Amino acid sequence: MGLEVHAQITSNSKLFSGSSTHFGADPNSNVSLVDTALPGMLPVINEHCVEQAVRTGLGLNAKINLFSRFDRKNYFYPDLPQGYQISQFQYPIVGEGEIEVELEDGPTITVGIERLHMEQDAGKSIHDLDPNATYVDLNRSGVALMEIVSKPDIRSPKEASAYVKKLRSIVVALGTCNGVMAEGNLRADVNVSVCKVGGYDKFRETGDFSHLGTRCEIKNVNSFRFIEQAAEFEARRQVNLIEDGGVVDQETRLFDAETGVTRSMRSKEDAHDYRYFPDPDLLPLKLTQEYVDNIKANLPELPDQKKERFVSEYGLKAYDAGVLAAEADKAAFFEEVAKGRDAKMAANWVTQELFGYLNKFDLELADSPVSSKQLGGLIDLIANKTISGKIAKDVFQKLIEEDDADPAVIVERDGLKQVTDTGAIEKVVDEIMAANPDQVEQVKAQFAEGHKKPKALGWFVGQAMKASGGKANPQAVNEILKQKLGI
């Protein structure tokens, strides 16, 4: 598989005109006479968009081309008033690069980037407002896009979605695209082909595409889940077709999210005859190495660098570091919780308890009922032995349920303080031992047989914890038990 990802460049105004890129405005209000391609209008490039494209190229470890050029891609559609899209065909602004993609089950793959180029987005056609007509809104027309083309290094639906997730985390960290897939700001064209076992390896050795099957392109897939579903369905469709003696035709297909199938767009045979030629309205885009170096020197910390720092600075496991570093808001939340505290404990509470809860209820971190300050306060109470880890989970639940609660106040109010008073614990242990002479004998017997940690001891710890309502300090209980049982 190879992916073409369209990412909307974060900018105030469009690529070649001064109208706004703001999403959700009234129809045709963010439209200038340049965007409608009225006679005599000329495109003037937005310098910030150029900078954003270069920044993204650097984030993809890619070659920045100091010379690039704009071409016209000609096709006819009502949401494209110019009759052509201004794009970069022959000389893109960014050349080859590569990124590391972590897969959920552990391994990391390298996905090559073929190129990145700038182009204009088209307007929006609305087909369901009128049974006999199509409504066109040009607000999106002319908004700057980056098309990021991968090499055919992706070999499964999971790898495809992991690649787009990584791409998204990079552009969001760079601030070059907001990554909001629901608004179409990041969408993927998924190219799928299948080949016989061994064919792909031959392709990798020789670079000869004839070892790969004929590809189909699935257009505009706009969620991670749909990317996986579309790729899964399409690969299966092609395999079934070939096994039934058929041939895969190279074509453009659409993914229907409701039925989970891809279908042919039934496009005319010359639909892809784009007749590219250099746009005579625009001079070539020439950059200096100094300009590129200056952008490079001011790049923000990227997810991979952040991950490395989390491993080296906080001693986190690579997987946890990756989860926390992937998204800027999660990373910032973690660092607020970890500041001045045991970082591993902070990572556990953030990834296990908090993210576990958010995932379960499909919530974003921005909607979290527990703030970094509250979670930090909770961890302080564990660290200074005010409460046990087990009680902390109950307090966490209360933080979720109550508004703006202070964990220390909850512990005080509900009498959850850990009992470290050995006198009180001894009393509990004495009572349990007196009531269960058989168990006492069993522990002693197990110990005499050479068991350093007799199984029955665990039973006593459990009873003591239960009798104290979970508030006894487990270590203190353990020590007192051992002492009293003489083991």
Q: What is the spatial distance between Cα 168 and Cα 149, in angstroms, rounded to a whole number?
A: 14
Give the one residue of 284, 300, 462, 469 binding other proteins; rule: CB under 8 A. 284
Nearest-angstrom CA–CA distance, 127 and 405: 50
| Of the candidate residues 23, 27, 212, 296, the single one contacting other proteins (CB under 8 A) | 27
> Interface with other proteins includes 127 (CB under 8 A)?
yes
Q: What is the distance between the alpha carbons of residues 352 and 1, in angstroms, rounded to a whole number? A: 33
Cβ atoms of 59 and 171 closer than 8 Å: yes
CB of 134 to other proteins, least distance (A): 4
Pick from 24, 40, 106, 132: which binds other proteins (CB under 8 A)? 132
Site for other proteins in 70-99 (CB under 8 A): 74, 76-78
- Rounded to whole angstroms, how far apart are CA atoms 475 and 389? 12
Residue 81 beta carbon to other proteins: minimum distance, rounded to whole angstroms: 9
Q: Does 285 bind other proteins (CB under 8 A)?
A: yes
Q: According to the binding rule CB under 8 A, does residue 26 interact with other proteins?
A: yes
Using the minimum distance from each CB to other proteins, give the nearer residue, 206 or 220. 220
**Residues between 29 and 48 that touch other proteins (CB under 8 A):** 29-34, 36, 44-48
Distance of closest approach, residue 160 Cβ to other proteins, in angstroms: 23
Q: How far is the CB of 52 from other proteins (least distance, A)?
A: 9
Give the C-alpha separation, 251 to 166, whole Å: 28
Stretch that binds other proteins, among 93-101, 133-141, 375-383, 456-464 (CB under 8 A): 133-141
Q: Answer whether 73's CB lies under 8 Å from 117's CB.
A: no
Question: If residue 146 lies in a helix (H) or strand (E), which one and from where to where?
Answer: strand 144-150
Please pick, from the candidates 110, 134, 250, 352, the single residue that binds other proteins as defined by CB under 8 A.
Answer: 134
Residue where the block lists tokens 């020439």: 286
Largest CA distance in the chain: 100
CB of 78 to other proteins, least distance (A): 4
* 220 is an interface residue for other proteins by CB under 8 A: no
Binder to other proteins among 4, 20, 109, 398 (CB under 8 A)?
20
Q: Does 13 bind other proteins (CB under 8 A)?
A: yes
129 binding other proteins? (CB under 8 A): yes
Among the listed residues 342, 299, 346, the one whose alpha carbon sits nearest the alpha carbon of residue 324: 346
Q: Which sign, positive or negative, has the C-alpha torsion 90, 92, 98, 100?
A: negative
Q: At residue 313, what is the residue type?
A: E
Closest distance of CB 1 from other proteins, Å: 23
Per rule CB under 8 A, is residue 12 in the interface with other proteins? Answer: yes
- Minimum separation from the CB atom of position 184 to other proteins (A): 16
Name the strand (E) or helix (H) holding 343.
helix 343-348
> In angstroms, how far is CA 422 from the centroid of its own chain?
49
**Cα→Cα distances 57→52, 302, 388, Å:** 9, 13, 49
Does residue number 49 form part of the binding site for other proteins (CB under 8 A)?
A: yes
The least distance separating other proteins from the CB of residue 123, rounded to whole angstroms, comes to 8
Which of 195, 265, 408, 461: binder of other proteins (CB under 8 A)? 265
Sheet holding 277-278, edge to edge: 84-87, 71-74, 277-278
241 near other proteins, judged by CB under 8 A: no
Cβ 248 vs Cβ 193: under 8 Å: yes
Which H or E element spans position 128?
strand 124-130
Question: Which of 85, 78, 86, 180 shows the shortest CA–CA distance to 137?
Answer: 78
Q: Does 254 participate in binding other proteins (rule CB under 8 A)?
A: yes
Output DSSP code: residue 210. G
Number of residues that bind other proteins (CB under 8 A): 51
**Is residue 387 involved in binding other proteins (CB under 8 A)?**
no
In whole angstroms, how large is the CA radius of gyration of the chain?
30
Q: Is 130 in the site for other proteins (CB under 8 A)?
A: yes
Element (H, E) at 58: helix 47-59
Per the document, the length of the chain is 487
Nearer to other proteins, 125 or 397 (CB): 125
Comparison of 206 and 264: residue with beta carbon closer to other proteins: 264
| CB 137, min distance to other proteins, A | 6
Q: Of the two residues 138 and 476, which places its CB atom closer to other proteins in the complex?
A: 138
Regarding 275 and contact with other proteins (CB under 8 A), the answer is yes
Q: How far apart are CA 102 and CA 108, in angstroms?
A: 4
Residue 295 interacts with other proteins (CB under 8 A)? no
Cβ 42 vs Cβ 34: under 8 Å: yes
Q: Which is nearer to other proteins, 125 or 294 (CB)?
A: 125
In the bound complex, what is the minimum distance in angstroms from residue 235's beta carbon to other proteins? 23
Alpha carbon separation from 405 to 326, 400, 413 (Å, rounded) = 29, 9, 11
User: What residue ranges bind other proteins (CB under 8 A)?
Assistant: 11-13, 17-20, 26-34, 36, 44-50, 74, 76-78, 125-127, 129-138, 254, 265, 270, 273, 275, 282-286
